[in-house]
């Protein structure tokens, strides 16, 4: 990796030199002059990709849940966006109080993962995997049921007094990112506090997200 970065840096420096000087320099990594010229053209033409590094633990990957945009965006350790999902946060808006049925704000982390290898649409009841499957017909029988399906990423607050401890503790409130049924209008706030995701999306995120991943719930995004 280091050699790749150094080679790319040498390419960039070499390409900025006058042609006569450039011709006398060794080409990095055994690249042909034509390849070097191609790299130069690409680097000059391509805009720099925007980055959003982790403000809590710099250099660590993180997830941002945007309440305004109803999205969850995964960033790598460089702050580069790697995944973007449409979600559904709380119908009652944002807030941290117990029994408010609102989505808490601020810094959290994934402290538990539930649902390894579980099939899509499997119903999870009180954090236990059941033998039952969600169907639209089952939802029609129980339209007010808050279905928790497929995977759970259980969040812990990282800000004492805001989303950690007392009557504002996100973990005690059982705030999850979790799979939800096909009846959910994703992109619209409909949940009872959790962050609802499509089943395929929560399965993918579950595999990508490690325990301890920082999660920032941002009402302005």
* DSSP structure class, residue 25: S
Is 57 one of the catalytic residues? no
Q: How far apart are CA 59 and CA 77, in angstroms?
A: 5
For the record, the structure tokens of 187 come out as 């992109």
In whole angstroms, give the CA distance from residue 197 to residue 72: 9
Average pLDDT over residues 193-205: 98
Q: Whole-angstrom Cα distance, residue 64 to residue 122?
A: 26
Q: What is the pLDDT of residue 131?
A: 95
Could you say which of 57, 111, 156, 178 is catalytic?
Answer: 178
Question: Looking at residues 21-44, what average pLDDT do you find?
Answer: 52
pTM, rounded to two decimals: 0.78
Quickly state the pLDDT bin for 78 (edges 50, 70, 90): very high
Query: Which numeric CATH code is attached to 62-218?
Result: 2.40.440.10
Higher pLDDT, 119 or 14: 119
pLDDT-based confidence at 15, cuts 50/70/90?
very low
Q: 108 an active-site residue?
A: no
Across the chain, mean pLDDT equals 86
- pLDDT tens profile 124-179: 999 999 999 999 999 999 998 999 999 999 999 999 999 999 999 999 999 999 99
């Amino acid at each position: 990796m280091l050699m790749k970065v150094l080679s790319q840096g040498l390419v960039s420096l070499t390409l900025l030199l006058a042609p006569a000087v450039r011709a006398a320099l060794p080409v990095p990594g055994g690249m042909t002059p034509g390849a070097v010229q191609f790299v130069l053209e690409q680097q000059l033409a391509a805009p720099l990709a925007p980055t959003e590094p982790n403000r809590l633990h710099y250099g660590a990957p993180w997830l941002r849940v945007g309440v305004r945009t109803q999205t969850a965006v995964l960033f790598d350790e460089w702050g580069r966006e790697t995944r973007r999902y449409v979600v559904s946060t709380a119908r009652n808006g944002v807030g941290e109080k117990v029994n408010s049925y609102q989505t808490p704000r601020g810094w959290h982390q994934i402290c538990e993962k539930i649902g390894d290898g579980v099939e899509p649409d499997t119903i999870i009841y009180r954090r236990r995997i059941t033998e039952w499957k969600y169907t639209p017909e089952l939802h029609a029988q129980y339209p007010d049921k808050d279905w928790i399906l497929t995977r759970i990423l259980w969040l812990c607050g990282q800000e004492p007094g805001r989303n950690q401890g007392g009557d504002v503790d996100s973990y005690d409130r059982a705030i999850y990112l979790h799979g939800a049924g096909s009846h959910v209008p994703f992109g619209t706030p409909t949940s009872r506090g959790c962050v609802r995701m499509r089943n395929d999306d929560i399965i993918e995120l579950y595999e990508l997200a490690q325990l301890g991943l920082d999660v920032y719930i941002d009402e302005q995004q």
